[in-house]
Amino acid sequence: MGEVSATAAEDGSSSPSSVAIPPRPPPKKLAVLPLIALIFYNVSGGPFGVEDSVSAGGGPLLSLLGFLVFPLLWSLPEALVTAELAASFPENGGYVLWISSAFGSFWGFQEGFWKWVSGTMDNALYPVLFLDYLRQSLPLFDHPAVRNVALLALTAALTFLNYRGLNIVGLSAVALTAFSLSPFVVMSLLAIPRIRPRRWLAINLQGANFRGYFNNMFWNLNYWDKASTLAGEVEDPSRSFPRAIFGAVVLVMASYLIPLLAGTGALDASRSAEWTDGYFAQVGMVIGGPWLRWWIQAAAAMSNMGLFEAEMSSDSFQLLGMSEMGMLPAIFGKRSKYGTPTISIMCSATGVIILSWMSFQEIVEFLNFLYSLGMLLEFAAFIKLRIKKPDLHRPYRIPVETFGAVVICIPPTFLLVLVMCLASMRTFIVSGSVMLIGFLIHPAIEHMRHKKCVKFINMLPESCSNTPTVQNQEIVDEASVSLLPGHSCVKKEPQDFEVNFNGIMEKE
């Protein structure tokens, strides 16, 4: 069944016994709006989790100032750098390709490993937070056995949704964004008659916890680069990414500042110490009543689903991109019939389950440290590519010269170093162990490649000139070609590709 006869193929006719079955169309590419929603969930997901910044900062003043100043010093520079580099390298893998092009495959692999571990740690938070919000109304989830089963079931269900297709995840993220932010729009409107601006100026430095404050700010304002790992799945990424990045910046800042202004302005400043995770539900209770509290709790629970989906999509497509670059075995690049990286998704889901036993504060501090390491490399790569490759095709370019590019990177670099310096000794040990594992895995993978005991899809472009055993590798991306030292690779003519019934790319 499904065979096409040679005669039918030649004369355009078909016989009853031979029916032509058209090939499965390729997965639909992400448009700008779903991409904005995915970036929004990579970074924020709404004001859930910002409550700690009020108590850790000793009152509303530092919290509000933080969400006004930190975006200018940190979020905007990272978003600008991401927009330029993602538009220049519109391929899956994102920042792994940027680092590899600037500093070589070894550091590209380390970047990918650090960011993947950091992202998996981050994703382990969301099923836990989902149940924490439900636990406030359903005490059943306090029981360890019930909680563990619920965590496994929730992780499995969300992983399956991710497997079903990136376009479904993107559209789901749009719907979840609207649902998650809607109660805060209502809460902010209801709070207007109760707001007293003087409450925004309250501060108690003696009661401040600056380590928790900086970690909370950093966690709520990072991961702008995360969606770059699935750039190859975006419709016209060179144009879409800059637009989506800047749209997400506006959305994230509004989703933080407006609810904070409403909540801290409407409630007595003496209650600042009560602002911990989930406190917005209590704010809704005071301002609107039980119905608003339930609405905020439901929005928080659903927001964690969106955060999980966005993070897993980015993490799994990062592994797929690394496989397509030859950094990981070919199995990580295998796609399902929905175009999603099956093994990479399973690998990320396994990491989430393993890490879900850790506490919220431990996870946040660990992932912040590893993320900071990766971001230092990204800023360094951005500057190096501006200096060494000024003629690189940049569909979007930050309108500054080299000196301006360096200046843009100074404030976020200072904040990265500050966050790392505030880390505990346990975080240094855990992060150092992750770095050591990355340093060991890379030569092990290279050994497997040399022995040909595992199949690899391709080699990184730079490997064409640095590794004598690999020759005549195909390079399709013009940006990658322009970054090759010495241009010693042989560039072949682009070949046609089709997607088979399993969704895997195969040559005709």
Evaluate whether residue 212 is within a structural domain.
Answer: yes
Length of the chain: 508
Residue 437: predicted pLDDT: 94
Q: pLDDT by residue for the chain (508 residues), tens digit each?
A: 444 444 444 444 444 443 443 445 556 677 888 889 888 988 888 888 788 888 888 889 999 999 998 888 888 899 899 989 988 888 888 899 999 999 998 999 999 999 998 888 888 777 777 776 667 667 776 777 777 787 788 888 888 877 877 777 888 888 889 999 999 999 999 999 999 999 999 888 887 888 888 888 888 888 888 888 888 888 888 888 888 888 999 999 999 999 999 999 998 877 777 888 778 888 999 999 999 998 998 898 888 888 888 888 888 888 988 888 888 888 888 888 888 888 888 888 887 777 766 666 667 778 888 888 999 999 999 999 999 998 888 888 999 898 999 999 999 999 889 888 888 888 899 889 999 999 999 999 988 888 888 888 755 444 333 333 333 333 334 444 333 333 333 333 333 333 332 333 333 3
Residue 26: predicted pLDDT: 59
Query: How far is residue 43's CA from residue 63's CA, in Å, rounded to a whole number?
Result: 18
Evaluate whether residue 23 is within a structural domain.
Answer: no
Evaluate whether residue 13 is within a structural domain.
Answer: no
Evaluate whether residue 242 is within a structural domain.
Answer: yes
Based on its alpha-carbon atoms, the radius of gyration of the chain, rounded to whole angstroms, reads 24
Range of the domain at 294: 32-507
**Helix, strand, or coil here: 335?**
strand
Residue 258: predicted pLDDT: 94
Check: pTM over 0.95? Answer yes or no.
no
- When divided into structural domains, the chain yields a total of 1
Q: Which CATH number fits the domain that encloses residue 216?
A: 1.20.1740.10
Query: How far is residue 162's CA from residue 393's CA, in Å, rounded to a whole number?
Result: 33
Which 8-state DSSP code applies to residue 505? E
Evaluate whether residue 314 is within a structural domain.
Answer: yes
Evaluate whether residue 14 is within a structural domain.
Answer: no
Which tokens hold the place of 25?
């169309």
Evaluate whether residue 264 is within a structural domain.
Answer: yes
Is-contact 147 153, C-beta < 8 A?
Answer: no
Q: How many CB atoms lie within 10 A of CB 457?
A: 18
Evaluate whether residue 177 is within a structural domain.
Answer: yes
Please name which of 317, 314, 343 lies closest in space to residue 331, comparing C-alpha atoms.
343
